[in-house]
Structures are given as structure tokens and as C-alpha cells.
Structure 1
Amino acid sequence: MNDAKKKTEDIELDERAETPEAGSAAEPTLEEAAFDEAPALDELEHLRSERDAYRDRFMRALADAENARKRGERDRREAEQYGGSKLARDMLPVHDNLRRAVEAVTEDQRAASAALIEGIELTMRELLNVFRKHGIEPIEPQAGERFDPQRHQAMFEAPVPDTRAGDIIQVMSTGFMLHDRLLRPAQVGVSSTPSGSSSSK
């Protein structure tokens, strides 16, 4: 009886020795560990790739926003400086007519209508002051200056003694600049005297 009981206890001890304790896991082999790490590495690479894509998109959006800001700033400056160019161009004939009126006045007319002539001259000066206030400056070449195609418009050519080809010989109308842009070229007559025909002074 005691021998049978002892054998039963020995069998139970052997079974407990072979059976792993509850809550303890068997140590994984090297192959199993490598197999478990592979999905983790793939997921890490995927996350890095996704991060780089988002960073690239963010940098592009940032560059686009900066370019849009610069374009907006440039458009705002141009609107401030050149937005009134059409109105200014439409006002130039008013200047021309006032100038012709002043230049056509004779001494007799000035003596007879001094107040009227003075009013026209004051209006002319006030118009020029308004032009300058808005960045409009007159181009007033003088006879003898060289023709500049960037600022002058040649209305005719004529051979004139004691001049060189390309010299301005007559000014027909004043030109105007709007800041650094040509609003209207000055209309001039230009000498066509051949080279070597002008007399030395």
C-alpha cells in the first residue's frame, strides 16, 4: 500500500517537472525572434517613408505659401504705383491743352486779361503738382540733346546744319514717366544730317 502511494507521488512529481509553470513562457528560438522582428522593421520603414512624404508635402506647401505672399506683395506695390496709369494717361491731353493755351498768349492778351491768364497758369502748375504727387514726372528734352528711343518718339527727320544725325531739333510735346515706367514718350523732330556734314564750332 505504501509502495503504491509512493509510486503515485513520484509520477505526479515527474509530470509537474515536465509541465511548465503557469504564467511562464518558453524562451523563443533565434529563428522565431528574427521572424517576429521582420514585420516590425517593415512597419518602421513604412512609417519613415510616410514621415518623409508628409515632410516633403509640408515643405512644398510652405514654399507655395511664401511665393504667394511675395506675389501678393508685388501686386500690391504695383497696384499702388501703377494702378492709376490709365487715368494719368487720360489726363495728359488736359495738360497739353493748358500748355498750348499758355504758349499761345500774346503780350497784348496778357495785358488785357491778366487775371484769366494767371488762372490758366495756376491751373497748369497745380496739375503738374498733382502729377508729381502721384509719381508722374515730365520728360522735357531740349533741342541739341541726343535722341533716346526709350524716352522719345521721332515724329520726323530733317537735315539741319550744325547738327549731328540723331540730335533733337524740335520738341513737339512733353513726355511723361510714371515712376520708372514710360507713360508717354516726348514727341520730337530729329536731325538726319549725314555724319561729317556738321560744321565744327
Structure 2
Amino acid sequence: MNDEDAKKPAADEDLIDIDSPEALEDPDIDERFAELEAERDEFKDKFMRALADAENSRKRSERDRREAEQYGGSRLARDLLPVFDNMRRAIEAIPQESRETNKAVIEGVELTMRELISVFKKHGIEPISPEIGDRFDPQHHEAMFEAPLPGTKAGEIIQVSADGFMLHDRLLRPAKVGVSSTPG
């Protein structure tokens, strides 16, 4: 075996010398070319799908990260809302005549409530505080009862039992209200 024979690949019948005149006349070349184009298109399609899938995964994980950052503390916030309610009820339950003797305790509870509201606001939690006479909004209010009340129109808030809260753009808890059923 000489050096030239060693450099040649062993029996490659599939390889076509495109410079030879026979290659251009080979009837299988068009078929082989079409096969290679189809294979190329298949790989390109798979590549584009994998690229799109990777981009979708990146976007999905970014959205999930943002949502976890914004709404991750919603369970803790929801669990703290009764604490806020109880502190408000405690202040409202103190009779007017004993307010002066319990002034320090009342100030402490009010200070704690203001601090709790400040922490809520810092984390995107905003109170929903409807007023008597406001229109009932089922997106932000929960009707605890309906009652006819003279001088009101149907759908007006006649009592506020508890404030509601929003966490950014999501309802954390609806405001609990009583609604007038007086016919208009």
C-alpha cells in the first residue's frame, strides 16, 4: 500500500466528486440533494422549536419570580388581618368614660396599629375602607347582610363591619359591609 492509498478513505461509495462530469449526470444526485435539504429543514425546525421553548421557559420563570416577589407574602398578610381587626375592636370597645384612665394603653395600641398599617403599605397592602353611603362594589366588598333602611337607596352601604385589603392589584380580603335593600 503506497502513501496515496493510505490518504484515501476506505471505499466511500456514498461520496460524490462534484467536480467530475459524471456527478452532474448522476440521476441520484437530485434525490440525495433533496434528502439533505429535508434533513436540514428538519434540524432547523427542531432548533427553532428548542429556541422558542427555551425563551418561553425564561419568560415563564421571570413571571413566576415577579409574582413570588409581589404576592409571596399573601398568606402571612392574610393571617395578620385578624390582628388588625382585633386591635381596632379593642380600641372601639373602650368606653368613653374610661379612656382617660387607659390613655397609655390606647396610645400603645393605636401606635401598634399605625406601625402595622405602615408595614402593610411598605409591602403593597392597601386598605379598602368604604364609607356609609358608598355604592356596594362586589369586586371589593362582601355583603354580610341586606336590610331596608329609610333614606337610603338599594345597593348603598349602610354599615362597615371590617375593612378590606388589596395586595398590589389583587384582592386580599373584601371589606365586609351591610347593604341597603330599600327599593329606589
The structure 2 residue matched to 1:47, chosen from 36, 50, 54, is 36
Q: 2:171 and 2:149 mapped to 1: Cα distance?
A: 29
Task: State the shift of 1:114 in Å.
Answer: 1.7
Q: 2:178 and 2:125 mapped to 1: Cα distance?
A: 24
Partner of 1:56: 45
Q: 1:106 and 1:118 mapped to 2: Cα distance?
A: 15
Partner of 2:135: 146
The structure 1 residue matched to 2:88, chosen from 74, 99, 116, is 99
Give, as a single letter, the amino acid of the residue that structure 2 aligns with 1:53.
E
Deviation track 1:6-60 (CA, whole Å, cap 9, x = no partner) reads xxxxxxxxxxxxxxxxxxxxxxxxxx95884222222211111111111100110
Partner of 2:77: 88
Q: 1:33 and 1:119 mapped to 2: Cα distance?
A: 100
The structure 1 residue matched to 2:66, chosen from 66, 77, 81, is 77
The structure 2 residue matched to 1:113, chosen from 86, 102, 112, is 102
Give, as a single letter, the amino acid of the residue that structure 1 aligns with 2:39.
E
Q: Which TM-score applies when normalising by structure 1?
A: 0.78
User: 8 Å contact 2:157–2:179 — kept in the other structure?
Assistant: yes
Partner of 2:9: none
The structure 1 residue matched to 2:146, chosen from 152, 157, 180, is 157
Partner of 1:12: none
RMSD over aligned CA atoms reads 1.6
Structure of higher CA gyration radius: 1
Unmatched 5+ stretches in structure 1: 1-31, 196-201
Give, as a single letter, the amino acid of the residue that structure 1 aligns with 2:183.
P
Give, as a single letter, the amino acid of the residue that structure 1 aligns with 2:65.
R
- Percent of aligned pairs with the same residue? 66
Q: 2:23 and 2:58 mapped to 1: Cα distance?
A: 52
Deviation track 1:116-149 (CA, whole Å, cap 9, x = no partner) reads 2111110000001111111111110000000000
Partner of 2:111: 122
Aligned length: 164
Q: 2:162 and 2:72 mapped to 1: Cα distance?
A: 24
- Which has the larger helix fraction? 1
Task: Judge which range, 83-92 or 38-47, deviates more.
Answer: 38-47
Q: Which TM-score applies when normalising by structure 2?
A: 0.84
Unmatched 5+ stretches in structure 2: 1-20
Deviation track 1:81-118 (CA, whole Å, cap 9, x = no partner) reads 11111111111110001111112223333211222211
Q: 1:132 and 1:35 mapped to 2: Cα distance?
A: 78
**1:112 counterpart SS class:** coil
Q: 2:33 and 2:23 mapped to 1: Cα distance?
A: 15
**1:148 counterpart SS class:** coil
